[in-house]
């Protein structure tokens, strides 16, 4: 005979299984619905492959780009620019955000500059950066850093400042040292905010790569996008856009999984409702 506690654990296990299944199926269903909508709009609304290619023709064009090897060099260049710029933004953004939270006077001193820089359309200075740093990888990395660092910095500072002081006081009361408090209290409590900033930075980093390569590059997905769009090869243009989307989705999904691993105490609302009902 199952005790109430055992039944509750069993209900939690079943609910976790249901939520895990839904979590893996629903995104795929959403992608399928988006592909169907894309195909329907292109075929029955726009009705012009020159203006808006169908999803099927875009996938075919994407397959041809990979089959012939045309796109490989450009993917490698764009991925390298994004990866280096994103890593620099992540490290610098977390470090600066933690410093601003630990030193309130420093945060107050720089808050106006940070907010102004974040709100300013920094894409407008991309041509100037390309003139200053050349058409190579360096200028694209700098553009990515300028666009991606601010979401990380702001989210990190907010995450550290929103930590409940009672958590730290409780750890001190139990004899925890500074390193233990940092590793077991502060970082876990701030991890969700930091990862949220990193996920926001992924999209801005992709935009940075694209903008830099459109304004001035001899290779990369942005360069390829300009070439195909100027020659009205709509299917290939959208195929390049799909590749950019995949480059953005992959790290975003990885950060989301990392969020689940670093926050095991976070129980979702559907799980709570499922447990309570049963």
Quote the pLDDT of residue 2.
Answer: 46
Sign of the CA dihedral running 58, 62, 64, 65: positive
Cβ–Cβ under 8 Å, residues 243 and 75 = yes
3-state secondary structure (DSSP) of residue 121: coil
What does pTM read for this prediction? 0.79
Which are the contacts of 16, defined by CB distance < 8 A and separation ≥ 6?
A: 271
Q: Please report the domains of the chain, with CATH numbers, ordered by start residue.
A: 70-277 (1.10.3720.10)
Quote the pLDDT of residue 89.
Answer: 94
**Short-list 210, 215, 194, 197, CA closest to 247:** 210
**What is the chain's pLDDT, residue by residue, as a tens digit (278 residues)?**
445 544 544 544 554 454 455 556 877 888 888 888 988 888 888 887 778 888 888 888 889 888 888 888 888 988 899 999 999 999 999 999 989 888 888 888 888 888 888 887 777 788 888 888 888 888 899 999 999 999 999 999 888 888 877 877 888 887 777 788 777 788 888 888 888 899 999 989 998 888 888 887 788 888 888 888 888 888 888 998 888 888 888 888 888 788 777 766 554 544 445 445 44
Quote the pLDDT of residue 20.
Answer: 52
């Amino acid at each position: 005979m199952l005790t109430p506690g055992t039944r509750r654990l069993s209900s939690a296990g079943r609910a976790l299984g249901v939520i895990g299944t839904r979590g893996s199926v629903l995104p795929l269903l959403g992608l399928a619905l988006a592909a169907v909508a894309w195909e329907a709009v292109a075929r029955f609304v726009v009705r012009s492959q020159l203006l808006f290619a169908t999803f099927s023709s875009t996938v075919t064009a994407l397959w041809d780009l990979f089959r012939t090897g045309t796109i490989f060099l450009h993917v490698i260049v764009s991925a390298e620019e994004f990866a280096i710029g994103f890593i620099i933004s992540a490290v610098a953004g977390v470090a600066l955000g933690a410093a601003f939270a630990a030193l309130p006077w420093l945060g107050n001193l720089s808050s106006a500059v940070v907010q102004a820089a974040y709100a300013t359309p920094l894409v407008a200075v991309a041509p100037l950066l390309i003139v200053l740093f050349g058409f190579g990888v360096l200028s694209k990395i700098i553009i990515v850093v300028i666009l991606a660092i601010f979401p990380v910095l702001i989210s990190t500072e907010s995450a550290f400042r929103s930590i409940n002081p009672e958590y730290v006081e409780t750890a001190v009361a139990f004899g925890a040292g500074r390193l233990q408090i940092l590793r077991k209290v502060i970082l876990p409590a701030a991890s969700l905010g930091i990862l949220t900033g990193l996920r926001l930075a992924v999209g801005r980093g992709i935009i940075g790569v694209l903008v830099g390569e459109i304004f001035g590059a001899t290779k990369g997905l942005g360069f390829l996008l300009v070439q195909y769009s100027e020659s009205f090869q709509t299917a290939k243009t959208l195929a390049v856009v799909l590749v950019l989307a995949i480059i953005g989705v992959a790290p975003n999904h990885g950060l989301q999984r990392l969020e689940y691993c670093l926050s095991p105490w976070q129980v979702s609302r559907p799980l709570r409702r499922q447990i309570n009902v049963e």
